[in-house]
Every structure is written in C-alpha cells, then in structure tokens.
Amino acid sequence: MLVKLGVDISRLKRPMRRALQPIDNVFIANTRSEAVLTSTYEGTHSPSSLHYANLACDFRWPKVFYEDHTAHLADRKDGFVKLLRDELGNKFDVVSESSHIHIEYDPKGV
C-alpha cells in the first residue's frame, strides 16, 4: 500500500488498521496496482465524519478505471466497490465518491 505524502496512519484505530492489508489485496488482485491511501483524519470532512474518530480512510481510484474504456466507468467502479465490501464484511461501509473510495468502520447494531 502506498500512502500519500502528509497522510498520518498512526492514529487509525485497530479495526481500520487491520483492514488496510485486505483493502490492498483487493486493489492488487483486481487492478494490478497498490492501493493509494489519500486521507485519514487530515483534510476537510463533514463534522460527524468517522475520519475524525480515526475510523475512516479515503483511497484514490486506480488509474486502470480511467484507461480502459471497454465498459461504463460507473459500472466498473460499482463492481470494484462490491469486491471491497465483500472482502471487508458488513461492519465496514464502502462508498464510491467521484474522486475517491471512502471506507469506514461503522458496525450497525453493536
């Protein structure tokens, strides 16, 4: 996994930290590139964002999504998000944003 310059992963709580390797595995297996972590608590997020609780990360969309024009971009992104959701399980939310993938540890009903 690559980490964008200036991003601090030292504060991530254990569930999010443990998810980093499985996330990277999905990136490598399906895009042939490492995940690029672009944000933890840094930057501007909504006031109630789990970024500030050290339970969320953002990842850059892999270049392959923009290089291959054989399928609709939104469909390819949706498929990739599903792979991440399947890998991480229902305690994580995986959200497709226009510029990045947002992943947070947010178990429901616990």
Residue 87 in 3-state DSSP? helix
Domain span at residue 61 reads: 2-105
Residue 15 lies in a domain: yes
| CATH code (residue 55) | 3.30.1380.10
At residue 57 the predicted structure's pLDDT band, cuts being 50, 70 and 90, is: very high
Q: How many structural domains comprise the chain? A: 1
23: pLDDT strictly greater than 70: yes
- pLDDT bracket for residue 108 (50, 70, 90): confident
**Residue 70, SS3?**
coil
Q: Evaluate if pTM is beyond 0.85.
A: yes
Candidates 56, 73, 71; CA nearest to 20 is 56
